[in-house]
Amino acid sequence: MNIYELVPETKKLISEDISLNSISINSKEINKGDIFVSIDGSIKNRKLYYKEVVLKGAKVILTNLEINIEASIPIIFIKDLKERLSNLSNDFYNCPSKKIEVFGITGTNGKSSVASYLHQIMMLHGEKAGLISNFDNKESHYSKLTTPDVFLLNKIIKKCVEEKKQSIIFEVSSHAIHQKRVEGIEFDYGCLTSFSRDHLDYHGSINEYSKVKESFFEENLFNNAVINTESNLGKKIVRQNKNFISLSSLDKNADIYLEIKKEISTIHSPWLKINLPKEIFAQHSMMNIASSLGLFLAASETKKIKETNLKKLKGLPGRLELVKLKFDQSCYIDYAHTPEALKITLQSLRNKYAGALICIFGCGGERDNGKRSLMGEIAASMADNIIITNDNPRLENPEKISLEILKGIKDKSKTEVIYDRTIAIKTGLNKLKNKEKDSVLLIAGKGHESFQEISGKFIKSNDFDIIRSHN
């Protein structure tokens, strides 16, 4: 595409039309022949970005901030640039979301798992599907952000179209909705996996957070959507969209009802009734599978799910993942970092294991500090032993974080604070080793992550590696 075609007003500003290879909002992703779109940052930072992209071979810079700077390439000021991002992206990539079935998965917890399960189900049934994920593997298109910016998003969707994929699946975070990163994407199917407290440091209140999630279903025209109605938000969305598919483990009248029994759990749906493999014991895992099944069947009602295929589904790394130990006890690593996620995970383990339950967790720094005491209270009500440790304290004092967690723990006699996560995990393993038979250790918060962010530095740290070094 040429600059005159993409931004017609440049005909009066640039003497010659310029051929463009790609377009990006991220200076790190600029290559020779690209156009750089600059909408954020101070004047000082923008000047650095401009120098960086010029050195990389960018041909044009679009900006919404007038800056006096000499450059060897045209710098075009567009006052309403921020409002035109989705149109620029769709124009450059020729509206790829119109040419493929698009699944958008939102919710507080479970987004990654539902997207992964849906992708696996499609592949097991012979469908070619694309997946955007922040898990870097050969099955998916990698994105550092939960939801890529609108340029990278359309670039990936276009690639899936060119690869003859039938569908594309990706997570839609509340930040992405609020920042309009998915504006202009034509969704076919949506999903609300769950809703509970999170990201209040960004949204300000649970009410504002709820409004943002709700807007995803108000502002897009879905063929259908699967909605977890175990929250007030979920119930409201289904009331306002009668054709949407309700999902619940509490309401037998829901379109998809998850019947949970100790022996065997069953998903009841308008299309079929299917039993879940006995190996899947956690309620949130069952709900995530039920969501993905609902989406698959809603998009392809004539097809039947092969029950044997459910046994082939693999959970994501660090999502209630059982870690093999050299001694006869059980240890799980999980990504739970919200009050609701920690509660559900602990309850699942309490239901499965008859012995002691040890919980290691922390709370992120410079994030919603109101959830800290809540998570402390939840851990205290369900675990026999608690170890509070670092979980990305960032620039915040770890002691302050731990003290706020401790506010929710009335009886502190079975609680330790060990800031060094490596020492905390090794201490938890030693405790587990000496507990009665059928005890379990949960290491929560970081899941598959391979670093700790402490005092502005990214320090290599992975819960699996720590266990292996001690085991």
Q: Which long-range contacts (CB under 8 A, 24 or more apart) does 298-301 make?
A: 298/189, 298/223, 298/224, 298/226, 298/245, 299/101, 299/103, 299/167, 299/188, 299/189, 299/223, 299/224, 301/271
Give the pLDDT score at 300. Answer: 84
Structure tokens of 415? 């609680």
3-state percent helix, strand, coil for the chain, nearest multiple of 5: 40, 20, 45
Beta carbons within 10 angstroms of residue 397's beta carbon: 11
Domains of the chain, earliest start first: 3-84 (3.40.1390.10), 94-310 (3.40.1190.10), 321-470 (3.90.190.20)
Residue 365 near residue 223 (C-beta atoms within 8 A): no
- The conformation of residue 318, written as its DSSP 8-state character, comes to T
> Which residues, at least 6 apart from 358, have a Cβ–Cβ distance to it below 8 Å?
383, 384, 385, 386, 387, 428, 431, 432, 435, 439, 440, 441, 442
Going by C-alpha positions, the residue among 253, 204, 437, 454 that lies closest to residue 328 is 437
Residue 461 contacts residue 452 (beta carbons within 8 Å): yes
Tens-digit pLDDT profile for residues 129-160? 999 999 988 889 999 999 999 999 999 999 99
Number of neighbouring beta carbons within 10 Å of residue 184: 18
First to last CA, the chain: 56
Q: What is the mean pLDDT of residues 96-105?
A: 98
Taking only the tens place, the pLDDT of each residue in 250-297 is: 999 999 999 999 889 999 999 889 999 999 999 999 999 999 999 999
Q: What span, in angstroms and rounded, lies between the C-alpha atoms of 359 and 106?
A: 28
Q: Are strands 330-334 and 440-444 parallel, antiparallel or unpaired?
A: parallel
User: DSSP secondary-structure letter at 276?
Assistant: P
Please say if the pLDDT value at position 306 is more than 80: no
pLDDT tens digit sequence for 358-402: 999 999 999 999 999 999 999 999 999 999 999 999 999 999 999
Q: Evaluate the CA torsion angle 195, 198, 203, 205 in order and state its sign.
A: positive
- The residues with which 452 forms a beta bridge, in sequence order, are 459
Structure tokens at 32: 């020779």
